[in-house]
Chain A
Amino acid sequence: MRVERRNVIDADRDAVWKIVSDPDSYPSFMTRLERWESADDRPLGVGARYFVHWKVGSVPVGGLMEVVEFDDRRDLAWVGITGVTLRGRIRLRDAGDGQTKVTFRLSYQAPGGIWGYIADRVAVGQVGRIAADTLKRLKRLAELGG
């Protein structure tokens, strides 16, 4: 399943990138985050690993993530190494007038054949709300500083 949400933030790309490239800021804008901790104490960049879990349904879902793309002021992407198959991306683009268009994508696939497919379908609404709410909080953080 692939979930994508977008919004426009009334702040320039440098300001938004400053937030999304700071590992310490994730708990303040990522919704339903149950676990966020560095797995290797490397600075955020390609190869850095984090334990990330979101509360989806009854339990925290996620696992060990590795950053696979860290393109300054443009893209930050990661893949799941353990847990459900997962890819995520935060994409920043200029929207004119000092604004930034932010796209948040999550692609995921649970194991287990038909049950995995059903679980993916059941979870998609909640994952969509997590993505939308995360962008709202990021907007608030970038525009108002909290």
Chain B
Amino acid sequence: MSTLGDLKDWMREQVASRVPKADLDQRDPDYIRDQLPGTWLLASLYFRADVQHLDRIPAEGPVLLVGNHSGGNVPPDTFVFTLAFCSYFGVERPFYQLAHNLVVSAPPLGWLRKFGTVAANPDNARLALESGAALLVYPGGDYEVFRPSWERHKVDFDGRMGYVKLAREAGVPIVPVASVGGQESALFLNRGQWLAKLLMADKLLRLKSIPISIALPWGLNISDLAGHIPLPTKIAIEVQHPIDVDGDDQAVHDKVMASLQAGVDRLAARRRFPVIG
């Protein structure tokens, strides 16, 4: 039993030691600028993306952007929104995104840190907002991003509302960002929370899901750790009006959820076919 415990501790240490310390200086505006044309091509031609109402984001100062998350480990909505934000406000405006520890510590994904991606934890989030930056968070995290494809138009944070406390403490408004299309980039079948528990990945790797999907090029795709080739699904994103944090956490959370779900419903109503849009 102690051997199993030692193994768990060792693995936890291995993952924790690889998570980079929050270093906002790793964001590189020139690097982002050079990548924008490639991402613009992908967003415009492959995902036929449409991003609306960026003007609703306060033109300056720190702001917490809260989105619903879709697309498994290759979420098209994140990179489309990052492109749109950087294109609209310029790469000069500091903008960070929170991502799972495994994403920011994976060596092949080191370039994400140049885009401003930092490990998802309250300290990093606070650091980013205190520096005056815009911060994009997906409170639903790995729970929401692996929901079955038939629940693709359901906003589900699994009750998480730590982001409200974060916004309150930082004194910043919350801007909901609704998106649809990402959950059609593969056929997501099951979150696989039972599998994560069975393999103890929830304790060792902070992985609450080991999702099961059918995705290119693997066919049956278990865990999605190696990612997948997303189908050319049409991505639609709607930025919503800012919400001031002036009630208790539950009341503000309810407002954000209602706003996001209404936005997703509006975008979904315009969609005639899955993937094609």
Contacts and interface: CB of A to CB of B under 8 A. Distances in A.
Interface of A: 34-35, 53, 57-61, 63-64, 82-83, 110-113, 115-116, 118-120, 122
A58 B52 CA distance: 10
Interface of A is mostly: mixed
A58 B49 contact: yes
Contacts of A63: 90
A83 B87 contact: yes
B43 A59 contact: yes
Interface of B: 33-38, 40-41, 43-45, 47-51, 54-55, 80, 83-84, 87-88, 90-92
A51 B51 CA distance: 18
Contact of A82 (B43, B84, B90): B90
A112 B33 contact: yes
22 contacts: A34-B88, A35-B55, A57-B43, A58-B43, A58-B50, A59-B80, A59-B88, A60-B54, A60-B84, A61-B40, A82-B90, A82-B91, A110-B37, A111-B34, A111-B36, A112-B34, A113-B34, A115-B38, A116-B37, A119-B37, A119-B40, A119-B41
Contacts of B91: 82
Nearest to B43: A58
B40 A57 contact: yes
Given A82-B90, A82-B92, A111-B33, A58 B40 contact: yes
B90 A83 contact: yes
A112 B90 contact: no
A79 B196 CA distance: 55
Query: Nearest 8 A-B pairs (CB), nearest first?
Result: A57-B44, A119-B37, A58-B49, A115-B38, A112-B37, A58-B43, A116-B37, A58-B44
Contacts of A35: 54-55, 88
A125 B127 CA distance: 43
Contact of B41 (A53, A61, A111, A122): A122
A119 to B, nearest CB: 4
Given A110-B36, A119-B41, A58 B48 contact: yes
Contact of A111 (B37, B45, B51): B37
A48 to B, nearest CB: 18
A111 B88 CA distance: 16
A49 to B, nearest CB: 13
B44 A60 contact: no
Contacts of B92: 82
Given A58-B49, A58-B50, A61-B87, A118 B37 contact: yes
Contacts of A83: 87, 90
A64 B37 contact: no
Given A82-B92, A119-B41, A60 B87 contact: yes
A116 B48 CA distance: 18
Nearest to B80: A58
Given A35-B55, A53-B88, A83-B87, A59 B49 contact: yes
Contacts of A116: 34, 37
B41 A59 contact: no
Contacts of B38: 112, 115, 119
Contacts of A61: 40, 87
